[in-house]
Structure 1
Amino acid sequence: MKIRSKLAWTYIILLVIGIITISAYSILTIRSFLLDEGEEQFERDALSLALTASSFKDDAQFDDKIRRQAELSRYEMAVYDKEGVRFLTFPEDAFDTVDTHLSDQLLSQLEKRDGAPIVQNNEQSQKLISYVDLGQSDNRAQYLRISQDKSEYYAAAASIRHIIYAGMFFSIGAVIIVSFLFARYIAAPILRLNSAALDIARGNLDRKIDLKRNDEFGTLADSLNHMASTLRADNEKLKMLNEKQSQFFADITHEVRNPLHTISGALEMLELENLQPEKKKQYMVTAQKQIKRVARLFEDIKTLQRYDFDESFISRKKIDLKQLVVEAEQAYQPIAQKKGLELVAKNITSCKVNADPDKLEQVLDNLISNAIKYTLQGTVEVGFEMKDDVVEVYVKDTGPGIGPEHLDRLFDRFYRTDKARSRDKGGTGLGLSVVKGILNAHQSDIKVESKVGKGSKFYFRLPTLD
């Protein structure tokens, strides 16, 4: 059974039970009230009729007066003498099953009542009966019995009951209609949410639920939309990561295969019997160079892997950044001079920072070595720029520069602006990725400014210590 039907039938059953209960209680209450009111009125009428009957003269018109009184009051009346013997009835057929003598017990009760009527309302009897002692009367009558069918009192209750029944059936019909409409109204957003959830589960993450409601259903719709949006974003990220991972493994394979081929070729040449010593030395140097290249490649991969998964990737301590930059500048000065470049240190002052010295040394090595590697002539500059409580460390060169189409992907793993030339220079394609990973672990980032033909500037910022 669908939830709409369950809701509708639940409302119908509960409301019908409520309507029937209220109707039955109302009918019984009204019936009891009317009977109580009728019994009180009956008692008053009995007393009034008794007073009237006791005032009649004992003459030839006595019987006619009693009958006339019974006709006007529309009660069944019987008159008894002082011995309790009935001598007059109206109508006569109403007393065919009634004893002609009053019982001694009843006479004793009437005597004790001192003129107050005795009303008998037996549930097994269809009539309401009253006995009255006339006391001192002007005729032979001493006791009066009046009776009336209870249906007379229930006539109004029956009319009200019919009205209540009609209202009850009308209410039940209205409840059925309203319940199905209400259940449809309640179930409609549930069905829409269920359909949307199934679509999302099938992978349709572009599904949007347009449910303009300010209740829990609206909140749930917003949550599903947010979930779909989050899943969509996560799915895009996973696709991107999957593509990058596939490209990463392809690049690793490519990067490793080339030096291995070179090493294999060098070893084959070394196996030649008549190989000259100079050539043998050349092939040995080539093989060693490629082995070092592979070692650097896996060292960089190891560094990146630690950045991705190791929370203790860096070990911070208070250091003087000046010392690191000076040592890096001195280490690369011979390489720059050999290439005919000028390596300059500018504005290098004592500057205390909280960082990992080994990792920052690796960052400086990568940036300075790249600048020297790709600069054919001119200057490579390393320096500081102090800005409030932050030091900006930069490496600037006069190299060929980098095109704007490469800047967004420059720090991706194995990305090269010129793959053939970069590989010829012995790079692994991971240097800048390592730099970015180390600086991200320091809550910093590597930035680049470059124009083709005018050189490049790589820089990062670190908060200084007092």
Structure 2
Amino acid sequence: MKSLAQKLWVSLCLFLLVTIIFAYFLSDYLYERLYVNNVEAELITLGEQIRKDYEGGVVPDSFIKNVEWLNSKTPYEVFAVRNPRELSACVPFDIDYEALIGPNERTELLANVTVTKVGFEERFGRTLVSVVVPLLDGDRLQGIIYLYFPLVNITELTSNITWYWLFGSFIFIFFVLFIGMKAVQVISRPIEEMKKAAEKVSEGNLSARVTVSSNDEIGQLAQSFNEMAEALQKEDQRNKNFLATVSHELRTPISYIKGYIEALQLNIISEEKRDDYMMIVQRESQRMEKIVGDLLELMKMETAQFSIEKLPLVLAEIIRQSLDNVKPAAEEKGLFVSVSLDEELIIFGDEGRIEQIFYNVFSNSLRHTVNGGISISLFAEGEFAYLVIEDTGSGIPEQDLPKVTERFFRVNKARSRKDGGSGLGLSIVKNLVMLHEGELKIQSRVGEGTKVTIIFPLFVDKSS
């Protein structure tokens, strides 16, 4: 298989070959169009000028002698004869009278039309251009003026400059090949670098980069490659961190379960504590199940395998359904739940997923609130529905706010493990909100509480 450089060289050589062939045919065309036509035009012009001296009647001897004198002064051969058959005595080659002036040509001459002929003459070894100008007296052809000129071959025209042409051609080819070689190197070098870098990336070396030396398409391709490699490197590091975090998150409940089961199997605990140990094992098992379940769901959301079924939904109804699931926990902790809802707001979404968003946010607010409670308000601004959830909880440090929607991020890790949180809730919420073309905003102050704002586009009935 040919390399790119080889293909470029072949293309360059083909280009030169096509250029040479084109130059040859162009020169032949110009020879035909310019040189031949120019000679023909000059012969016709000269013949027309000579005919002006003819005054009619029988062509006088003085007119013929004047033409003979003119013949010695011009580069063309010019003859005037009363009868075309007399031409054979004038020209130094065999002339076919019937071919020169046949019925068609005679008709044209009688119509006072100049006749031109172009043909190869063996005696001269070159093409002959001839012109026949009629000498008419009324409707009678009294004689003709015959002009001809043997064309110079194109090789004869260029004979004096052949060596210059060859030398110039050599210089031209040398410079074209030299410049072509440099161009091939310039073009192929970054591509070769990208090839080597791609091989390194495929082998697992995601730090491989290429040098961006231009702003053209190849330079943009190199820049895109670097950006791709950087993205892959970040994603690889993210996956490593994610796997490390997953391992860490699962290690704790697994170690709990393993330790308590071994204690139960070895009967090293009292009967009154067996139930407590079993509850701990059950709790940690449920926690593992929740982590794995949330993780699988989150991974599906980030792929094309996840889909939602959207329908027009009344937001206030779904908010109430979600609150019914968390109110017992709020009452148990003695927290208030304040609600202010616009009953007419409708969005286009998946009911189950919208309820999942609300449940996660409501339960998360209640989990981190000890005194006071949460207030929930739903209202419209422009073409969007705003759901605002404010709590009086412990709050989130300002430096942690950008990270709270990351997978497994916890502001208070010890507390989250105790209450069984997976650390994936807000990540799931963020992805579900984005799938509904919405926006999630979180504001918080330590010791004062947290404000979560969820924005959805309002449903517009296009059928009406």
TM-score, scaled relative to structure 1: 0.64
Q: Distance in 2 between matches of 1:464 and 1:124?
A: 95
8 Å contact 2:439–2:456 — kept in the other structure?
no
Which structure 2 residues correspond to residues 377-388 of structure 1 after superposition, within 5 A?
Answer: 377-388=371-382
8 Å contact 1:375–1:397 — kept in the other structure?
yes
Q: Distance in 2 between matches of 1:272 and 1:19?
A: 102
- Residues 352-405 of structure 1 show CA distances to partners (whole Å, capped at 9, x for unaligned) of 222112111111121111112222323222221321231111222222322232
Provide the residue aligned with 2:309 in structure 1.
315
Provide the residue aligned with 1:173 in structure 2.
167
Q: Pick from 8, 13, 19 the counterpart of residue 6 of structure 1.
A: 13
Provide the residue aligned with 1:389 in structure 2.
383
8 Å contact 2:437–2:457 — kept in the other structure?
no
Q: Distance in 2 between matches of 1:168 and 1:306?
A: 76
Provide the residue aligned with 1:210 in structure 2.
214
How far did residue 20 of structure 1 move?
8.6
Secondary structure in 1 aligned to 2:323? Answer: helix
Q: Does 1:441 align with 2:435?
A: yes
Provide the residue aligned with 2:444 in structure 1.
450
* Residue ranges of structure 2 left out of the alignment (5+ in a row): 1-5, 44-60, 66-71, 73-84, 95-120, 125-148, 198-207
Q: Distance in 1 between matches of 2:87 and 2:315?
A: 124
Which letter maps to 2:365? Answer: A
Which structure 2 residues correspond to residues 97-108 of structure 1 after superposition, within 5 A?
Answer: none
Secondary structure in 1 aligned to 2:408? Answer: coil
Provide the residue aligned with 2:368 in structure 1.
374
Secondary structure in 1 aligned to 2:286? Answer: helix
8 Å contact 1:352–1:465 — kept in the other structure?
yes
Q: Distance in 2 between matches of 1:200 and 1:340?
A: 64
Change (3 A) 1:363 1:172: same
TM-score, scaled relative to structure 2: 0.65
8 Å contact 2:313–2:349 — kept in the other structure?
yes
8 Å contact 2:336–2:372 — kept in the other structure?
yes
Identity of aligned residues (%): 22
Provide the residue aligned with 2:262 in structure 1.
268
Which structure 2 residues correspond to residues 93-132 of structure 1 after superposition, within 5 A?
Answer: 117=89, 120-121=92-93
* Residue ranges of structure 1 left out of the alignment (5+ in a row): 37-47, 53-72, 74-112, 127-152, 212-220
Which structure 2 residues correspond to residues 393-408 of structure 1 after superposition, within 5 A?
Answer: 393-408=387-402
Q: Distance in 1 between matches of 2:290 and 2:155?
A: 100
RMSD value over aligned CA atoms? 4.2
How far did residue 225 of structure 1 move?
2.9
- Residues 102-123 of structure 1 show CA distances to partners (whole Å, capped at 9, x for unaligned) of xxxxxxxxxxx89994655479
Q: Distance in 2 between matches of 1:115 and 1:288?
A: 128
Q: Distance in 1 between matches of 2:345 and 2:88?
A: 119
8 Å contact 2:395–2:446 — kept in the other structure?
yes
How far did residue 23 of structure 1 move?
11
Q: Does 1:295 align with 2:289?
A: yes
Q: Distance in 2 between matches of 1:161 and 1:359?
A: 87
Q: Does 1:236 align with 2:243?
A: no
Q: Does 1:412 align with 2:406?
A: yes
Change (3 A) 1:124 1:383: closer
Change (3 A) 1:202 1:293: same
Secondary structure in 1 aligned to 2:450? Answer: strand
- Residues 206-239 of structure 1 show CA distances to partners (whole Å, capped at 9, x for unaligned) of 533436xxxxxxxxx32x2333333333322222
Provide the residue aligned with 1:192 in structure 2.
186
8 Å contact 2:438–2:457 — kept in the other structure?
no
Secondary structure in 1 aligned to 2:348? Answer: strand
- Residues 135-184 of structure 1 show CA distances to partners (whole Å, capped at 9, x for unaligned) of xxxxxxxxxxxxxxxxxx99x979x9877312232233223323433454
Q: Distance in 2 between matches of 1:12 and 1:254?
A: 70
Structure 1 window deviating more from structure 2 (4-13 vs 243-252): it is 4-13
How far did residue 431 of structure 1 move?
0.8
By relative contact order (CA 8 Å, sep 6+), the higher-ranking structure is 1
Change (3 A) 1:15 1:296: closer
Change (3 A) 1:208 1:342: same
8 Å contact 1:391–1:462 — kept in the other structure?
yes
Q: Distance in 2 between matches of 1:249 and 1:358?
A: 29
How far did residue 262 of structure 1 move?
1.0
8 Å contact 1:19–1:168 — kept in the other structure?
no
Secondary structure in 2 aligned to 1:408? Answer: helix
Mark the structure with the bigger radius of gyration: 1
8 Å contact 1:4–1:187 — kept in the other structure?
no
Change (3 A) 1:12 1:167: farther
Secondary structure in 2 aligned to 1:383? Answer: strand
